[in-house]
Structure formats: structure tokens, C-alpha cells
Amino acid sequence: MAERRVTIGWPEGLHARPASIFVRAAGAVGVPVTISKNGGDPVNAASMLALLGLGAQAGEEVVLASDAADADAALDRLAKLVGEGLDELPAA
């Protein structure tokens, strides 16, 4: 399983607008991805309800993971999005 640990860069954490950006990006990468807070249960990264349920705050570490064979590039892009608090998924 591939995974990336990343600190949330959005000042508001993974709530409202950043959560919407992340969920759309997770759905667009083409591989199934989970997200969890350090030590917590992983949830579907493409689910807005699951993501909001994490209650992930700015500065907290989250773990992005996928079992897909070609997940490395997708996880790198999502990690950059979260870590830098970007408004859109970085180009491949």
C-alpha cells in the first residue's frame, strides 16, 4: 500500500471550501484513495461526509493511502494539494 503523510496547509483545515476542493481532486485522480488522521480509521477521500467527519484541522497530519498499482503519482498530487493548501489539483 502506498501512502503519504502530510500536514494540512489550509488555514481552515479540511472544512467547507478546502474539503470540497479535496473531495473533487480525490475523485479525479483515477484511483481509490483513503484519508485518515494519524492513528485513526481511514475513510473514503472522495466522500464529503466522511472527510468532514474527520474534523481535520490546520497543522494536523493526515495519511493519504491507496492500494492501486499506479497510486504514487496520484498520492503525490493530492499530498501537494493538501500540504500547500492549493485551490486546485496540481498538474500531473
Residues 48-91 pLDDT 10s: 999 999 999 999 999 999 999 989 999 999 999 999 999 988 88
Question: What CA–CA distance (Å, rounded) separates 68 from 84?
Answer: 24
Please report whether residue 92 resides in a domain. Answer: no
Please report whether residue 89 resides in a domain. Answer: no
Please report whether residue 11 resides in a domain. Answer: yes
Cell output for 17? 471550501
Determine which one of 15, 31, 44, 83 is catalytic.
15
Which residues constitute the domain of residue 26? 2-84
Task: Check which CATH number belongs to the domain holding 50 and give it.
Answer: 3.30.1340.10
Task: Determine the pLDDT at residue 67.
Answer: 97
Please report whether residue 42 resides in a domain. Answer: yes
For the chain, the domain total comes to: 1
Cell output for 27? 475523485
Task: Determine the pLDDT at residue 37.
Answer: 95
Question: What CA–CA distance (Å, rounded) separates 52 from 59?
Answer: 16
15 classed as catalytic? yes
Q: In what helix (H) or strand (E) does residue 36 lie, and over which residues does it extend?
A: strand 34-37
Please report whether residue 12 resides in a domain. Answer: yes
- pTM for this one? 0.94
